[in-house]
Amino acid sequence: MSSFPQVAQTDLNFNVKETISHNRLKGLLRLLKGYRLQYAGAMVALAVMALLNTASLLLLRYLVDDVLVARPDNFTQALLFTAVAFVLLSAGRGIFAFFSGVLKASASEGIALRIKDYMFDHLQHLPFRYHDQQQTGELIQRATSDIDAIRRFYADQAIGIGRILLLFFVNFFALLALHWQLTLVSVIVVPVVLVMSLYFFRKVSAAYEERQKQDAIVSNVLQENLTGVRVVKAFARQPFEIDRFEEENTQLFKLGIRFMYMHATYWPVVDLLTGFQMIFAFFLGATLVISGDMTVGTYVSFTAMIGWIINPMRNLGRLIVQMSTGMVSYDRIAEVVAEDWEKLGIKDKSPKEDIEGHIIFKDVNFAYEHDMPVLHDINFEVQPGQTIALLGSTGSGKTSLMALLPRFYGYEGSITLDGIELTEYPRHFLRANIGIVEQEPFLFSRSIYENITYGVPGEVSKDDVIAAAKAAAVHDVIMTFPDAYETLVGERGVTLSGGQKQRIALARTLLKNPRILILDDATSSVDTQTESEIREALSRMMKQRTSFIIAHRIQSVMDADLILVLDKGRIVQHGTHEELMQVPGTYRQTYDMQARIEDELQEELQRAGA
């Protein structure tokens, strides 16, 4: 019992996309690829089970007619034979039930695993543009519950319907062989039951949906009450809240009752219907036996088989209705899978091994959505090792401009890196050589150590990690955490302040040691003193690499080799600090404005008598 049959190791890279079809059934059939034999095996096992089941009912007939009633000379022997045969048939049924169960589990779980893996990989390969438009919850739902619905399609529904149909046909033909006239009058109710169960389960699933919706409303009221607890208390509104909850809770109660009453009506009604059908068959059969047209044994196995035909039918409607929801899930998954990947070109060779960092933007235009241009006619040149500052108000296009370098988005016009068009470089190569620190960086709920090493493939020495953390002026902070570098980030560990996050993200990027460094307002939440520490550490590093700095404060950009002033997606000014101070324009305005603030402050302080 300790070892399980070898789990078929599925390929992590099975391409689900190739199986997608507009025809759902076709698509679901293609998804079976590699598991077809197993799945067919499960079905065959079911068929064998149905046959063995009917065989044991026929054995019952033999037992009654040829052994018990006929009492042959070798009576005890025959009896023993039947008893043993019965046990063997059951054992056979058991063995095939086991095979069927294991095969279907292996196939359905395997298929689900494959889709899960693919979906994960697929989502992380979809372009930025796609993720910009999607809601996380919606995608997660597709990746989890919809995939599970597909699993149930294979594990429960398709196989369940197959089982019912197999039972029906095997027993039906056996019945026909026993007594075809009686058989035909005994199954009149089958189509009626089928239609009823379809109708009922469709209704009941709608009622269930409605109840689920109400359930969500109740949860919502509850959640709002819990998150707004201060407001509730501050206005002493507890009684009002109780009433509000009461109202929705009562509605939920009513819907729940309605849903359950549907079941309370359906089952007895269908029981009655099938019951009358069976009594009818029992009665006719018994009459036939009395009139000598049927043997007792036939009668006994006949009545048993009728049950095997009619009873499973009551559930067929449920499976069919559930299957249709499984189909909807297929569509929802197919829709995501049909999206095209961003080509990373991992295996492609880069046109250059080492980047120097000579960048030319020529007539570059860019839009996230058509007709909504974000960048217009961007032209500038950067020499290797230079530091470029981008200045401009929120929404002026600074971040968008920087997102073009690692090819997060496509662009119009030309951007060359060391004389070669960006699109010639594999994305993977560019991203390995460009480091970005964002204003609101994303950290993973792993240890701080893992977060810092996140961007570096392979082993990293602890000293390097600490050096990076020190350069980002975050080492001392980390050491105050309970588990130092092993402290988890997020709910289960420490909640980091905006400035701490920025510094850890900075350490992460510094450790990656990129040839091109982009700091997108990366120290905005860090206090002034720490910021100057960081700047000092950075200035050493920036000497050898091309760097871009996005900032608001003149102080942070003054020393740059080239300052680009952006407004509404255009470069409105460019030059060094000295050059820009010579001409009237946004830069000087900003400078003046900041100076004016100082003046105002002095005035203000004087007025207060300081």
From 169, 173, 180, 283, residue interacting with another protein (rule: CB under 8 A): 283
54 is an interface residue for another protein by CB under 8 A? no
Burial of 491 (0-12, 13-18, 19+ CB in 10 A): exposed
- DSSP state letters, 334-392: HHHHTSPPPP--SSSPPS-SS----EEEEEEEEEEETTEEEEEEEEEEE-TT-EEEEE-
Shortest distance, position 22 Cβ to another protein, whole Å: 26
Torsional sign, CA 326, 327, 328, 331: positive
Q: How far is the CB of 26 from another protein (least distance, A)?
A: 26
Q: What minimum distance in Å lies between the beta carbon of 18 and another protein?
A: 18
Q: Does 139 bind another protein (CB under 8 A)?
A: yes
Among 26, 213, 263, 343, binds another protein (CB under 8 A): 263
Long-range Cβ contacts of 35-39 (<8 Å, 24+ apart): 35/106, 35/107, 35/110, 35/111, 38/103, 38/104, 38/106, 38/107, 39/103, 39/104, 39/107, 39/154
Is the CB of residue 547 less than 8 Å from the CB of residue 387? yes
**Residue 364 CB partners (closer than 8 Å, separation 6+):** 375, 377, 378, 379, 404, 411, 412, 413, 414, 415
Instruction: Select from 100, 111, 37 the least CA-distant residue to 330.
Output: 111
Note the Cα 451 to chain centre separation in Å: 23
Region binding another protein by CB under 8 A among candidate stretches 22-30, 171-179, 298-306, 331-339: 298-306
Q: Which stretch binds another protein (CB under 8 A): 20-28, 183-191, 281-289, 465-473?
A: 281-289
Residue 102 within binding range of another protein, rule CB under 8 A: yes
**Please, how many CA atoms are within 13 Å of residue 586, restricted to the half-sphere of its CB?**
18
Please select the residue that binds another protein; options are 31, 47, 123, 175, rule is CB under 8 A.
Answer: 123
Count CB atoms within 10 A of the CB of residue 78: 18
Nearest CB to another protein, comparing residues 24 and 44? 44
Do the Cβ atoms of 412 and 365 come closer than 8 Å? yes
For residue 435, the surrounding DSSP H or E stretch is strand 434-437
Specify the residue, 226 or 372, whose C-beta has the smaller distance to another protein.
Answer: 226
**Residue from 47, 52, 67, 560 that binds another protein (CB under 8 A)?**
67
**209 interacts with another protein by CB under 8 A:** no
Side chain identity, residue 272: L
212 binds another protein (CB under 8 A): no
Nearest alpha carbon to residue 469 among 491, 490, 489, 484: 484
Query: Which of 572, 577, 581, 591: binder of another protein (CB under 8 A)?
Result: 572
| Alpha-helix runs per DSSP H in 437-527 | 448-452, 462-471, 475-480, 498-512
Q: Name the β-bridge partners of 369.
A: 372
573 near another protein, judged by CB under 8 A: yes
264 binds another protein (CB under 8 A): yes
Measured CA to CA, the distance from residue 232 to residue 239 in angstroms comes to: 10
For another protein, give the closer residue by CB, 86 or 368: 86
Q: Which stretch binds another protein (CB under 8 A): 137-145, 188-196, 411-419, 538-546?
A: 137-145
Distance in angstroms (rounded) separating the CA atoms of residues 310 and 276: 11
Binding segment (CB under 8 A) for another protein, from list 21-29, 30-38, 82-90, 194-202: 82-90
**Phi, psi (deg, nearest 5) at residue 449:** -60, -50
Within positions 406 to 435, which residues make up the interface with another protein, using CB under 8 A?
406, 408, 428, 431-432, 434
599 binds another protein (CB under 8 A): no
Judged by beta carbon, residue 146 or residue 322, the one nearer another protein is 146
Of 23 and 480, the one with the shorter C-beta distance to another protein is: 480
3-state helix, strand, coil in the chain (%, to 5): 65, 10, 25
Least gap, CB of 233 to another protein (angstroms): 6
* Residue with Cβ nearer another protein (173 or 253): 253
Shortest spacing between CB 453 and another protein, in angstroms: 10
Number of residues interacting with another protein: please give it, by CB under 8 A: 159
- Which residue in the set 19, 54, 100, 197 belongs to the binding site for another protein (CB under 8 A)? 100
Minimum CB–partner distance for residue 225 and another protein (Å): 7
Quote the tokens at residue 310: 């009619």
Q: What is the contact mask toward another protein in residues 531 to 550, using x (rule: CB under 8 A)?
A: --------------------
Q: Is 549 exposed, middle or buried (0-12, 13-18, 19+ CB in 10 A)?
A: buried
Judged by CB under 8 A, the stretch of 16-24, 59-67, 318-326, 330-338 that binds another protein is 59-67
The answer to the question of residue 457 lying near another protein (CB under 8 A) is yes
CB of 396 to another protein, least distance (A): 9
- 359 phi and psi, to 5 degrees? -120, 130
Work out how close the CB of 444 gets to another protein at its nearest, in angstroms, rounded to a whole number: 6
Rounded to the nearest whole angstrom, what is the least distance from the CB of residue 435 to another protein in the complex?
A: 8
Residues 327-356 that bind another protein (CB under 8 A): 342, 344, 346
User: Does 4 engage in binding with another protein (CB under 8 A)?
Assistant: yes
Site for another protein in 349-408 (CB under 8 A): 393-394, 406, 408
DSSP 8-state code for residue 426: -
When asked if residue 83 is in the footprint of another protein (CB under 8 A), the reply is yes
Q: How far apart are CA 337 and CA 6, in angstroms?
A: 30
Report CA-CA distances (Å) from 494 to 63, 450, 488, 500, 526: 75, 14, 6, 11, 18
Q: 3-state class of 9 per DSSP? A: coil
Question: Which one of 27, 326, 397, 455 is in contact with another protein (CB under 8 A)?
Answer: 455
Residue 27 or 297: the one with the smaller Cβ distance to another protein is 297
Q: What's the one-letter identity of residue 342?
A: E
Residues 215-244 close enough to bind another protein by CB under 8 A: 215, 218-220, 222-238, 240-242
**Could you say whether residue 442 binds another protein (CB under 8 A)?**
yes
512 part of the interface to another protein, by CB under 8 A = yes
Question: Closer to another protein at the Cβ: 169 or 261?
Answer: 261
Q: In what order do the strands lie in the sheet with 412-417?
A: 372-382, 359-369, 412-417, 420-421
Give the three-class secondary structure for 590: helix
Residue whose CB is less far from another protein, 95 or 466: 95
Residue 609 touching another protein (CB under 8 A):
yes
CA–CA gap between residue 563 and residue 550 (Å, rounded):
10
Tell me which residues in 6-35 interact with another protein (CB under 8 A).
7, 10, 12
**Hey, which residues does 387 pair with through a beta bridge?**
547
Site for another protein in 151-190 (CB under 8 A): none
Position among 20, 415, 448, 571 found at the interface with another protein (CB under 8 A): 571
